[in-house]
Amino acid sequence: MSEAPQVFRETAAFHYPDYVVLSLYFVSLLWMGFYFAKRGKSTRDFFLAGQRIPWWAAGLSIFGTQLSAITFMAVPAKTYATDWTYFMSSMGIVAIAPVVIYLYLPFYRQLNLTSAYEYLERRFNVGVRWLGSLAYMLLQMGRMSVVLFLPAVALATVTGMSVYTSILLMGVTTTIYTVLGGMEAVIWTDVMQVFVLAGGAIVALAFAVLQVGGLGAFLAMGQADGKFQTFVMSWDYTQPATWVIVLGYFALLAPYTADQTIVQRYMTTRSEKDSARGIWTNALLSIPSTLIFFSLGTALYCFYETHPSHLNPNIKTDAILPWFVVSELPAGIPGLVVAGIFAASMSTLSSIMNSVAAALVTDFGKRLRPAVADLTWLRIARALTLMLGVLVTGASLIMATYDIASMWDQWNKILGLFGGGLAGLFMLGIFSKRANGPGALIGAAASAAAMYLVEEHTQIHFFLYGTVGVVTCVAVGYAASFLFPKGKSVLDGLTLFTRKRSRLP
């Protein structure tokens, strides 16, 4: 007798309770936008939340901003397909948190910055400031569209909700509450969104583990199939060897020291001490969250190994988590997890919208027109945020219509060449008295060129790209500075250290 053919599950559907949960989530976000709208009376309120944010909320906001919907789905998907090799990459923030707190944070707080790039002008010149700010804004504009588009595609695949509906829900809702409530609404919605996405991930993990026979069976199967392998002891720089991943921690200096989206959070608390606590909150949260998301990926592998007929073979690996929660979890729970995916995307999106508006107003608007009243700039900030929301939502809809995701990926790839250079500029300014404006610009250009050459003409692992960018910018920028007269040095890090973190001149 021939064996009966395997029948695979091909469809999944949202149910009424799922739509109720999702609707409550969106209504809550809009309510928060309207609630905080009345508290935005100045640009300091709109961009820095009047420095009223408690340290723990700032830390949760940093965590939520860094955890995009792409990460929310991609980490379990990568672990499902491979093992825990990339686990150590998520531990990088724990390693660099002390560096950020003790060597960078004093500058941002004592100089009372709104834009991180203000420091670059005070240390070097206005050209370096504008280069840093412009590179940041262009990169984030590209990133916003991808943050909207890619999760929408995955959700459409498994829920039946159209890509356009998902994009419009996320884009329009995020734009409304960000325009109305500014940074205060952004941070407090981030806090809620972190709990939503964490709750969804924990529920999905628990259900998957129970379905494979409990924790013991889950650990035994994962161990037997090598799914928990974490360390790769090899000197091959083309592979994710442990030393490659650890050396790649240099790349984390870019988001945590040179990215307006994150640096702006440091300025929303009442004091430098509170900002430091917020950074530690984000760093320490990365440990349990990484354990949850990696365990979830392994649990999905174990589940589909024991229930192969439940997996639609046409589903792409990146959509494995949405597929699982929609097709396997009881009604209502998929709504929570899908809300978590929306939350991860919208948290990142709202943060970028507010921070790009802050860079536009602070680095260009106020710099060129300092006599304009602050209330006028507040109106302009809201208008710019609205324009950003419309532009990004429209660009994402175009990507869905014409299927230009690959072209957009290339655009982000090109802009990403400047990420290491941005971190290098701040490192040059803070750790060198001799570095000057022309040298810094040459270093940034050399960094972009080096990253391009490494990416296009070598086989080194992508974890090392950022390290190459940072090191090149610092080395070339420092050497090139000797070709020009010595520039400003009163705002360098060595001065700060010798004064034992006293007030900066």
Asked if the structure places residue 434 within a domain, the reply is no
CB 221 within 8 A of CB 299: no
- Distance (Å, rounded) from C-alpha 468 to C-alpha 484? 25
Check residue 439 and give its pLDDT: 94
Asked if the structure places residue 494 within a domain, the reply is no
The CATH number for 393's domain is: 1.20.1730.10
Asked if the structure places residue 467 within a domain, the reply is no
**Quick one: what percent of the chain has pLDDT higher than 70?**
90
- Distance (Å, rounded) from C-alpha 140 to C-alpha 56? 25
Q: What is the mean pLDDT of residues 320-343?
A: 83
- Pick the most confident of 9-23, 466-480, 484-498: 466-480
Residue 479: is its pLDDT beyond 60?
A: yes
Question: How many angstroms separate the Cα of 249 from the Cα of each of 43, 97, 111?
Answer: 34, 11, 27
- Distance (Å, rounded) from C-alpha 404 to C-alpha 406? 5
Task: Please tell me which residue, 293 or 144, carries the higher pLDDT value.
Answer: 293
Scanning the structure block, which residue is given the tokens 């206005």?
A: 126
Asked if the structure places residue 167 within a domain, the reply is yes
Query: Which residues lie closer than 8 Å to 394 by C-beta, 6 or more apart?
Result: none
Q: What is the mean pLDDT of residues 377-395?
A: 93
Task: Please tell me which residue, 502 or 210, carries the higher pLDDT value.
Answer: 210
Task: Please tell me which residue, 375 or 491, carries the higher pLDDT value.
Answer: 375
Asked if the structure places residue 414 within a domain, the reply is no
Asked if the structure places residue 87 within a domain, the reply is yes
Average pLDDT taken over every residue of the chain: 85
Three-class secondary structure of residue 3 per DSSP: coil
Task: Please tell me which residue, 288 or 402, carries the higher pLDDT value.
Answer: 288
Q: What is the DSSP letter of 102?
A: I
- Distance (Å, rounded) from C-alpha 495 to C-alpha 505? 10
Residue 459: is its pLDDT beyond 80?
A: yes
- Distance (Å, rounded) from C-alpha 505 to C-alpha 404? 50
If one counts every other C-beta atom within 10 angstroms of the C-beta of residue 322, the result is 26
Q: State the burial class of residue 339 (Cβ atoms within 10 Å of its Cβ: 0-12, 13-18, 19+).
A: buried
Asked if the structure places residue 6 within a domain, the reply is no
Count of domains observed in the chain: 1
Asked if the structure places residue 178 within a domain, the reply is yes
Check residue 497 and give its pLDDT: 46
Q: Which two tokens stand for residue 236?
A: 């091959």
Residue 498: is its pLDDT beyond 50?
A: no
Check residue 1 and give its pLDDT: 39
Q: What is the mean pLDDT of residues 248-276?
A: 89
Scanning the structure block, which residue is given the tokens 């929408």?
A: 152
Check residue 158 and give its pLDDT: 67
Out of 8-22, 241-255, 382-396, least confident range = 8-22
Q: What is the mean pLDDT of residues 149-169?
A: 80
Residue 400: is its pLDDT beyond 80?
A: no
Check residue 416 and give its pLDDT: 57
Residue 250: is its pLDDT beyond 50?
A: yes
Residue 71: is its pLDDT beyond 90?
A: no
Instruction: Give the H/E segment covering residue 29.
Output: helix 16-37
Q: What is the DSSP letter of 329?
A: S
If one counts every other C-beta atom within 10 angstroms of the C-beta of residue 464, the result is 20
For 54, the domain range is 16-405
CB 89 within 8 A of CB 330: no
Out of 79-83, 85-89, 217-221, 412-416, least confident range = 412-416
Out of 191-200, 285-294, 311-320, least confident range = 311-320
Helices 320-328 and 272-306, packing angle to 10 deg: 70
Scanning the structure block, which residue is given the tokens 């004093």?
A: 106
